A and B are shown apart, each in its own frame.
Chain A
């Protein structure tokens, strides 16, 4: 392995190349664009063997082309975010229902209106219920490492579901940082070629996603849920295998620090985790019993894992990067439902960094301290918001 300073885009594109995809199809959208630009350049330079790179007319078209390609047994890739993901959503529900293991990178970006190109998790959260696996990464090494693992998990016969690798736009995509780049032989030894048991061929015609009247529709939904639940075990196994192969252990569905005797658990996802971990370490030095829970897999949700680590905590602080308007932050919603009847902790959830607003160290520390010291009420809060006057017309 060679360690190089590369941009997030390249770290992802290079890993995709090593996975030997058969069809890549995309439509550009900031901050994703350079991922597929890198792949298009590799394709033009003849570095992508046995691969078709297709430029679609929209994200809707890109996702549709990949549904067709994936159904024929092709290993497929796309990347998108924000409005592009929302435009794909109609197709992506189909991809999940047809059990097509399309791997996509979401360069997380906020949703309009107002228009923002910057980072939060509102886009991928909008796809929460679509039966697509969602893993959030902390840095570009984890993004790079997650690509081969995503294919291996998604294409597992017990899973067969689309997979979203969620990486924070700009904070990761545009960042230059050292990444240990994988080698082809290593990826080949880890990831077998994709050969699904059922595929579209002219010799043996099939229909995917056909009409299911009430007497059989519900069974399809049952097997989708079962596949998601089985994915948990497959993910744990693949994560473990990856750690053994590369020496880089990113954890399971969750990863924890200082949780053994923690009284306060701090929950976060994505690129802010590194800084949150530093704040937790600082607070430990001050004698505060704080621990970190990094949620890696948001779908499937790590219910059992969270119950286990949160068993004895008194406070839970959740950093949210999205809002379920009319209720609260999506991570806290799921966390509370997972812990109901298993843990009596007070849950404080803080929406921070929406639309790319910075999440400085002091803000993280303030939120955790306010929760520990009881200076805020349980429940949902926006933090890092300026004073403003609301206008109601």
Chain B
């Protein structure tokens, strides 16, 4: 049976929603998966809701349609929850991993009370974490770390290497800070699963 893992990312323009899926496409390939990532944004402006998609499989990926029934949903910005139905179509036993300033139980109560009980909800205050380490509220690397920590689909070492390579061209300091952020988010999420 072929494996096909589908992930949908939600956030706002400028937060690195597209990059989050792209980094995981590169890291996933290093782990031996065939991968595909692609974006869907509204207006090409900062602040508007953005969606990106990631597929991981054990065979070449030919499906290029949008993801309607994701195994995982990753939310980079707490303010899109509500205005955007981030949980739409999520599969049974699926998982929502959200940047949210409150514990998961509260997020579930506030927004996902009708969600099937088999679906796990996990939260992380990625904005705070990104402000502490990067000094900017760009949450994509933290949420990439959180995804890997929660799902264990990608090893921390592979992800750290990929993130370093990704940001290296913008300077070693920034690359190292993003690696630090990935590791912190990964470990915090690992403890919550």
Task: Please give the residue numbers on chain A whose beta carbons come within 8 Å of chain B beta carbons, in ascending order.
Answer: 5, 7, 30, 117, 139, 170-171, 174-178, 271-272, 274-275, 277-278, 358-361
Verify B66–A360 contact, CB threshold 8 A. Answer: yes
State whether A176 and B65 are in contact (beta carbons under 8 Å apart), knowing that A5-B25, A5-B26 are contacts in the complex. no
**Does the CB pair A278–B66 fall under 8 Å?**
no
**Nearest A residue (CB) for B27:** A5
CA distance A170 to B44 in the complex (A): 13
Q: Are A275 and B37 in touch, CB under 8 angstroms?
A: no
- The answer to whether A360 touches B65 (Cβ under 8 A) is yes
- A-B residue pairs in contact (CB < 8 Å), sample of 23: A5-B25, A5-B26, A30-B44, A139-B62, A170-B38, A170-B39, A170-B40, A174-B39, A175-B36, A175-B37, A175-B64, A176-B22, A177-B25, A178-B29, A178-B34, A178-B35, A271-B64, A274-B62, A275-B64, A277-B62, A358-B65, A359-B65, A360-B66
Bound complex: CA of A360 vs CA of B18, how far in Å? 21
Q: Is B61 part of the contact surface with A, judged by Cβ < 8 Å?
A: yes
Q: Which residue of B lies closest to A275 (CB)?
A: B63
Chain B residues with CB below 8 A from A176, complex form:
21-22, 25-26, 35-38
Main secondary structure of the interface of A (DSSP, over half): mixed
B38 touches A175 (CB 8 A): yes
B38 near A174 (CB under 8 angstroms)? yes
Q: How far is the CA of A171 from the CA of B62 in the complex (A)?
A: 11
> Inside 8 A of A170's CB, which chain B residues have their CB?
38-40
In the bound complex, what is the Cα–Cα distance between A271 and B81 (angstroms)?
Answer: 31
Q: Which residues from 26 to 56 on chain B have a C-beta closer than 8 Å to any C-beta of chain A?
A: 26, 29, 34-40, 44
Complex: A274 Cα to B68 Cα, angstroms: 18
Q: Is the CB of A5 within 8 A of B35?
A: yes
The answer for the CA separation of A176 and B37 in the assembled complex, in Å, is 5
Q: How far is the CB of B40 from chain A (nearest CB, A)?
A: 8
| Contacts A5-B29, A177-B25, A178-B29 given; does A274 touch B63 at CB 8 Å | yes
CA distance A358 to B44 in the complex (A): 18
Residues on B with C-beta less than 8 A from A277 are 62
Closest to A274 in B: B62
Q: Are A360 and B38 in contact (CB under 8 A)?
A: no
CA distance A359 to B68 in the complex (A): 12
Docked complex: B59-87 residues within 8 A CB-CB of A = 60-66, 68
Closest to B23 in A: A176
> Please, which residue of chain A has its CB at the minimum distance from the CB of B68?
A360
Which chain A residues border B63 with CB–CB below 8 Å?
Answer: 274-275, 278, 361
Flag if B66 contacts A274 (CB, 8 Å). Answer: no
Shortest 4 CB-CB distances between A and B: which pairs?
A274-B62, A176-B25, A175-B38, A5-B29
A358 to B62, CA, bound (A): 15
Given known contacts A5-B35, A170-B39, what 16 new A-B pairs fall within 8 Å (CB)?
A139-B62, A170-B38, A175-B37, A176-B21, A176-B37, A177-B35, A177-B61, A178-B34, A274-B63, A275-B63, A275-B64, A275-B65, A278-B63, A358-B65, A359-B65, A361-B65
Please measure, in the bound complex, the distance between the C-alpha atom of A139 and the C-alpha atom of B36, giving whole angstroms.
Answer: 11
**Does A278 contact B62, Cβ atoms closer than 8 Å?**
yes
Known A5-B29, A176-B22, A177-B25; judge A274-B39 contact (CB<8 A): no
**Nearest Cβ on chain B to A167's Cβ, whole angstroms:** 12
Q: Which residues of B contact A139 (CB under 8 A)?
A: 62
> Which residues in window 92-111 of B have CB below 8 A to A?
none
Bound form: Cα–Cα A117–B62 in Å: 23
**A168's closest neighbor in chain B, by CB?**
B64
Expressed in whole angstroms, the minimum distance between the Cβ of A264 and any Cβ of chain B is: 20
B101 to chain A, nearest CB (A): 31
State A359–B37 Cα separation when bound (angstroms).
Answer: 17
B36 cross-chain contacts in A, Cβ below 8 A:
175-177
